[in-house]
Structure 1
Amino acid sequence: METVRQTHKESKTKSCGPSASNDNRRSYPLSGKSLFPENATARIFKPSRSVTTSATAQTNEWRLVFDRCSAPFIEPFLGYTGSGETLVQVELKFPTLESAIRYAERQGLDYLLQRQTDASADRAAYRKWSEREGGRQGHDLPERQVA
């Protein structure tokens, strides 16, 4: 998985052209600074499909989530896990990568971009290995001897 960390602060350039469905048109918050804490780091990624199904629903959109800044704690009386961070609960969905990056830059957020590796390249590497091994499958391998 390729990971790219980028830090962007307020820029004076405005993007032209159509905006995505969940992009607001305001370039800066009303107060002139970001509504998010200064140490907030966003992570932008495209979710992978569920391993229990072959469906690819909800994997065409990009997600923006916030990373934890502090460790969660165990509440002493009830024993549940608590945290003082509410941004961890926020998960924003974007139709394109560009709209997610534009949102993070517009809000003055530091963001971490995670791109998935191409699965077809992994399959091709396995195919080459399988041909090199003579097409052996897992059940054709010799049994492991226990000492």
Structure 2
Amino acid sequence: MIARIFRPSKTAMQSGRARAQEWVLEFAPASARTPDPLMGWTLTDDTSAQVRLSFETRDDAVAYAQKHGLAFQVTEPKAPRRILKAYADNFSADRKQPWTH
């Protein structure tokens, strides 16, 4: 069983970054999920996939995994691509498309 250590991305539903600053350790599923023949729900025998631990820093998460003898994989977060825009650009003279109302 391998543990993934990563920093989750910002949710698309809100503009805040509340839970995007912490590092998360979660376990990769050991077996594939199978559908229940009666209800159609997905079943799994692996309960460790439900465990999700949060840490303040990457080093804390790595230290926890090493202390408990867990094989882990660290995924570094990608830097967000910022597009700088200004309201005045809507009215600039060298605008690609003419401004119409």
The CA distance in 1 between the partners of 2:27 and 2:58, in whole Å, is 16
Unpaired stretches in structure 1, ≥5 consecutive residues:
1-39, 128-133, 141-147
Unpaired stretches in structure 2, ≥5 consecutive residues:
86-93
Give CA deviations for 1:98-147 in whole Å, capped at 9, x if unaligned.
0100000111111111111111xx337x99xxxxxx864xxx4xxxxxxx
TM-score (structure 2 length as normaliser): 0.78
1:135–1:85 distance in 2 versus 1, CA, 3 Å:
farther
The CA distance in 2 between the partners of 1:135 and 1:71, in whole Å, is 52
1:88–1:73 distance in 2 versus 1, CA, 3 Å:
same
Moved over 3 A (4+): none
Q: Which residue does 1:77 correspond to in 2?
A: 38
Larger RCO (CA under 8 A, 6+ residues apart): 1
Q: Which residue does 2:61 correspond to in 1?
A: 100
How many residue pairs match? The answer is: 89
Query: RMSD value over aligned CA atoms?
Result: 2.0
The CA distance in 2 between the partners of 1:53 and 1:91, in whole Å, is 21
TM-score (structure 1 length as normaliser): 0.55
Percent identity reads 33
State the SS of the aligned residue for 2:82.
helix
